[in-house]
Structure 1
Amino acid sequence: MSGRAKLTVFAALATLLTAWSLSPLVESQAWLLQAALLLVVQSAVGAGARRVPLARSLTVAAQLLLSLLLLALLFAGKVESTGSGPLAYFVTDFGSLFAQGVHDVGEYAIPAPLTDGIQLLLVSGVLLIGLLVDLLAVTARTAAAAGLPLLALYSVAAGLSGGGEASWFSFLLAGCGYLMLLLCEGRDRLAQWGRVFGSAPRGRGAADSGISSGNVRAMAPVRFGRRIGALALGLALVVPAVLPALDDGLLGGPKDGEGAGGSGGTISAVNPLVSLQSNLNAQDNRVVLRYRTDNPQQGEQYLRILGLDEFNGSKWEASGRALTDVPQQMPVPPGLGDQVRLGSTEVTTNITASDGYTQRYLPMPYPATAVEIGGKWRFEPVGRTLVGDQLGRDKYQTVQGAEYKVRSLLLKPTAQQLQKAPAPDPAIREEYTKVPD
């Protein structure tokens, strides 16, 4: 196999190994096999065009045209046709399916179902990255620059999936694919120089010549490159795990604001509205929570997840606070007067969360006085919030499928009590009125 043919194989392999990082985004990985088959055909067309040889622009054009035809055959009939002829299909029907995929991405939470639109986005995206990698690494003979589209593909996957337990494995696959591509190109460049000067095998007469024989290959540069690549990849995996300062890097797991479990830990600045966006944009009806309460004023009761009490100049977010163990009886909310508290009524609410609700903050009526729930939870006293504790590496306690009971106060202050309310504590005034410079 020629050096350029090997480069073609390793370019396609690097693209597929990097595309594996997209697998956590959807429930099914059937698209990956389809992308692999189409990528193989696209690479074969490029190899054949270069062997003819064709100009670089014509080689890329042939690969792009065949990829579009294969996509058209694969997704034919997936959407109701609105035109006639191949041009109408590419302009209207193909574009309609692509727009449907963009809509599905914004509607479904990860992992999303493998709809036809999402499948089109994934397969076409992998083919596009594969075409760029093939162009840079094989056609233009600059394998180092081919790392840019590979990095873009991995960054999109890592950014959308938010890391997770399999993120290090995805990074390892992508890194190995890129390193193998670099080593293949380096070896091909080295082979173009002809015979390599180096030490001859021991016990042979060629020892005095200093030149390797025709059937002996000088493997020292290749071995040295492998060692450097393995060392760099190992450091990229080990260093972020060893140094706490790098734990929020590309390989770090999702950080929704909870500190590590145990006796300490803090809740850092997060905005749960971002994680709720995909659920709010969903067009179908889904049961998230069921509750039963003895509150006579059900219309005035709401469930509170987290208080965004700090303004950073552009948005509201939760301030960082220390976490403690969940008390059997929660403290009285600050600012609640004795007369109002004595005139309040304690109500009980039983809540059941669906299996698809993975929120780490426990929805509760405000102000809660006691919570009965299984699992590992932490309590933030100032915000009166329950936060899921860490269960393992990149894994936290969530509300998913939980059944719990919350006792809370039904406050009914009178107009006279509100008018006679004293001034707030200076510490509360200072904390909740400060703004950025």
Structure 2
Amino acid sequence: MSRGRLADSLIAGAASGVVAWPLTTLFTPATWVRPTLAMVLVVVVVGVVGRMVTTSWIAIAAAQLVGVVLAAGWIYGRGHLWFGLPYSDTVLAFNRLLVDARETIQNYAAPAPTTRGITLAVGLAIGVVAIIVDHLAVMRRSPALAGLPLLTAFLISASNSGNALNPMFFVAAGAVWLLMLGRQGIASLRRWSTTVPMSTTGRRSSEDHDGAYGYAAVGRSLAVAGLVAAVVLPVVIPHFPTRYLIDGLGRSSEATGFSDGQIGLKSTLDLTKSLKSPSKAPVLSYTTNAAILTPLRVGVLDTYLGDNWRPEPSDVDYGRRSTVALPDELGADVPRETYRISVEDSRIEAPQIAAPTPLVTADLGRVTWGLDRNTSVAVVNRSARSYSFTYLALNPTPESLGQSRQGETGGFLREDLRVDPESQDLVSRLVDEVVPQDASRIEAARAIQKYLRADGGFRYSLDLPETVKNDLGQDERPDAISLFLRSKVGYCVQFATAMVMMAREAGIPARMAIGFLPGTADRGTYTVRASDAHAWPELYFDGIGWLRFEPTPSGTQNTVAPPYSLAPTTPGTDPTSTSTATGGSTANPTRPDGANDPGATDQAETTGGTSGGLGWLGPQTRLVVLWVLLGLVVGLLGSLAVPLAARSRFRRRLRHAPDEKTRVEIEWQAMTERIGDLGVIPPRGSTPRQAGRFYQREAYLEGDQTEALHRVVDGVERSRYAPPGSLVTDIRTDTQAVVKAVSGVRRRKDRLRATWWPTEGLLEWRDRRAAVARVLRRPYDRFQDWRDARRDYRA
């Protein structure tokens, strides 16, 4: 099997399989693993058999490619083969699957669902990587170059997972690659000429301190140290956001950080941030018997502080109840209708669950749930994929809504009347302009909603301005609410926040709600997507409770205002009778321009990955750059460890030499070792003159180079054999000239190996390691000596 190079082929195949391991963080479930490993095994087997038949790398690579195609047809194309062979129908089937894989990658973030297309794409990609690695590492004997395709495959996972990979992924891949590299290095070293007899097992019969096994021992130590450093250093050195490849799976113009796994809305909202490309990945689907759809609420936020919304601590009593007590504030005389909603395939992560409000009955199967006593928000203890609720659609009368703005404000409503102090002056002036002094609670709410939605000149945009002009034409950077009210540019979070603060200033308790718009209908089933995430204000009315309003302008998503929030079109008209064409229907929530509302918040996977917290400007970036430069300096110094150790060892030997003869001998030994590092090794036991003739012949020395070599040999012979008291010449300059001449005729990789991996340096590090080991072992040895002495004394 030597021609087939079985061991090298297996290691190359293992490397290809190991770099595919991190893909388990991108696709779930991991059903693609076995067929992908089968593809790698096909490449290994075909490569081994092919090398036993021919030495043509083209024929072997072609055979491996054919093997991958046949294996792909047998594994992924069953039902599309012609007598077991792929044909045109197989190509069409694979094309459909690969298109499906592309759409999955574009629309999902990690972990994306493992569809048949994903399984095929991963199998083919890793199969091709295995062919390239096998060709470079086995056929070309260049395992270092084979690291490039392996690194590419590894970076696909590292740059798209959205979170830091487990260090074991890197350690496994790095260890296999170093094994492949070390095996090739030892094989190359053994091909160097030597006169040391070998045993039948291939080991030198004499003790091998300076040969292949010495190199292997030091290499293993450096490899382990390198892996440890590669894992530890990134922990303490900051890094830039992962934007050097494709900035995360699903970060196309159609996608964002939602996945087929679990989806959640952050319970903390930052008004200064938005997502530019929300995903169209489905969140849930449902059916309902309601004529007028309502958004599905996920959470409620009460406290606004430092441009951020935060929730109050929850108070939930979990259980499996099927009936729900209505809110205490809801009066029995409020007109209402009961509807049912049945949800399937929900991907929302616990404790959140999307539901209308107020709830009447619930069916969540074996999932325990409850209502937050402070907000009446439904929460679950574990994710519910399928569930159903019945809920009330309230139709408050004009009389019940026309209450004074100075109603119930005690108890839990105190926080819901607090206005942001930084923007309170501006909010107060706007309320005085927009809301009549004698307006009732509903009239004030309608006036504020109309001002933000239509009359105030506000514009919906995902691109938030950072500054605004003052009266003198100068740029200012006010707080987030003032920036929105002055620039009049924002999206749903800004519109909802502005209405909450204006309503509070007008004396109406208000809070922020987050959730999803009703979605799009298809044959009676509504699909809610990540791009339907939304935020809206809820205002409190005595005897009714919390009612939804919609200040975000229409024409963006289908942000339809509730009928009761719209002013009557004619005097005396009941606002609740407003046509559903303007107030109640829900059609396509996607905006005509194709953009998407960033929804209620920065949307995130439940794994918690947020894009990097380091900016490209300011002191933080300068700190990062300094750390990166420090890391580069540390890496450079690490690469110089062996050459500097060799120079230090040589200088120390010269410094401690007792006389000139010893110095000449040290310089001669250093020259032979450096030339040996270049791959030119004279027969063991050669005299200086024999070694000189060998160097002249092997390195094609001539002219001044030959003269320098002769002076070196003559100097060594004089130092060894001349009578005591004879003059000994310094040969250091000539030894350097000889080494330079030999280096000039050697291959580049030999020169690099001699420069960065000198024998003197390896011996120095081995001695230092042994010295450290002796120091560490000294207390144990002393303890052993003490114990032995005590045993002898007792005896």
Relative to the length of structure 2, the TM-score reads: 0.35
Distance 1:365 1:53, change over 3 A: same
In the alignment, does 2:183 pair up with 1:192?
A: no
Q: Residue 53 of structure 1: CA displacement?
A: 1.9
User: Residues of 2 paired with 1:103 and 1:387: CA distance?
Assistant: 23
Distance 1:295 1:124, change over 3 A: farther
> Match for 2:183: what amino acid?
C
Partner of 2:509: helix, strand, or coil?
A: strand
Partner of 1:219: helix, strand, or coil?
A: helix
Q: Residue 190 of structure 1: CA displacement?
A: 2.0
Q: Which segments of 5 or more consecutive residues in structure 2 lack a partner in the other structure? A: 249-255, 258-268, 287-343, 349-353, 359-393, 397-444, 454-460, 468-476, 481-495, 517-527, 541-599, 611-795
> Match for 2:357: what amino acid?
R
Q: Residue 246 of structure 1: CA displacement?
A: 3.1
User: Residues of 1 paired with 2:86 and 2:223: CA distance?
Assistant: 47
Q: Which residue in 2 is equivalent to 1:204?
A: none
Q: Residue 95 of structure 1: CA displacement?
A: 2.0
Distance 1:291 1:117, change over 3 A: same
> Match for 2:186: what amino acid?
R
The correspondence of residues 206-245 of structure 1 with structure 2, limited to 5 A, is 212-213=204-205, 218-243=212-237, 245=238
Per-residue CA distance 1:125-174 (angstroms, 9 max, x = gap): 1111111111111111111111111111111112221234x432222222
User: Residues of 2 paired with 1:337 and 1:43: CA distance?
Assistant: 65
User: Residues of 1 paired with 2:168 and 2:145: CA distance?
Assistant: 23
Distance 1:226 1:310, change over 3 A: farther
Distance 1:292 1:44, change over 3 A: same
The correspondence of residues 341-352 of structure 1 with structure 2, limited to 5 A, is 342-343=505-506, 345-347=508-510
Q: Which residue in 2 is equivalent to 1:290?
A: 355
Q: Which residue in 2 is equivalent to 1:42?
A: 43
Q: Which residue in 1 is equivalent to 2:174?
A: 175
Higher RCO (Cα < 8 Å, 6 or more apart): 1
Partner of 1:131: helix, strand, or coil?
A: helix
Partner of 2:141: helix, strand, or coil?
A: coil
User: Residues of 2 paired with 1:337 and 1:124: CA distance?
Assistant: 54
For 1:309, which of 458, 464, 473 is the aligned residue? 464
In the alignment, does 2:276 pair up with 1:273?
A: yes
Distance 1:345 1:145, change over 3 A: same
Distance 1:64 1:396, change over 3 A: closer
Distance 1:119 1:342, change over 3 A: same
Q: Residue 181 of structure 1: CA displacement?
A: 1.6
Q: Which residue in 1 is equivalent to 2:17?
A: 16
Distance 1:77 1:5, change over 3 A: closer
CA contact (8 A) 2:500 2:511 kept: no
The correspondence of residues 411-430 of structure 1 with structure 2, limited to 5 A, is none
> Match for 2:87: what amino acid?
L
> Match for 1:157: what amino acid?
S
Distance 1:121 1:239, change over 3 A: same
User: Residues of 2 paired with 1:233 and 1:60: CA distance?
Assistant: 32
CA contact (8 A) 1:106 1:281 kept: no
User: Residues of 1 paired with 2:603 and 2:37: CA distance?
Assistant: 39
Equivalent pairs counted in the alignment come to 340
Distance 1:240 1:339, change over 3 A: closer
Q: Which residue in 2 is equivalent to 1:412?
A: none
User: Residues of 1 paired with 2:48 and 2:284: CA distance?
Assistant: 44
Per-residue CA distance 1:335-378 (angstroms, 9 max, x = gap): 8899875546435677678xxx999xx96435999xxxxxxxxx
Per-residue CA distance 1:22-63 (angstroms, 9 max, x = gap): 011122222212211221121111111112224111100000
Q: Which residue in 1 is equivalent to 2:291?
A: none
Q: Residue 279 of structure 1: CA displacement?
A: 2.1
Per-residue CA distance 1:209-232 (angstroms, 9 max, x = gap): xx9317978411112222222222
Partner of 1:212: helix, strand, or coil?
A: coil
Partner of 1:365: helix, strand, or coil?
A: strand
Distance 1:230 1:280, change over 3 A: same
User: Residues of 1 paired with 2:178 and 2:271: CA distance?
Assistant: 37
Partner of 2:28: helix, strand, or coil?
A: coil
User: Residues of 1 paired with 2:127 and 2:119: CA distance?
Assistant: 12
In the alignment, does 2:94 pair up with 1:94?
A: yes
> Match for 1:246: what amino acid?
H
Partner of 1:292: helix, strand, or coil?
A: coil
The correspondence of residues 239-254 of structure 1 with structure 2, limited to 5 A, is 239-243=233-237, 245-246=238-239
Greater C-alpha Rg = 2
Q: Which segments of 5 or more consecutive residues in structure 1 lack a partner in the other structure? A: 201-210, 258-265, 313-318, 323-332, 370-384, 398-437
How large is the RMSD of aligned CA atoms in angstroms? Answer: 5.6
Distance 1:195 1:163, change over 3 A: farther
The correspondence of residues 37-436 of structure 1 with structure 2, limited to 5 A, is 37-77=38-78, 86-164=86-164, 166-193=165-192, 212-213=204-205, 218-243=212-237, 245-246=238-239, 271-274=274-277, 276-279=278-281, 289-292=354-357, 308-310=463-465, 342-343=505-506, 345-347=508-510, 364-366=535-537, 395=608
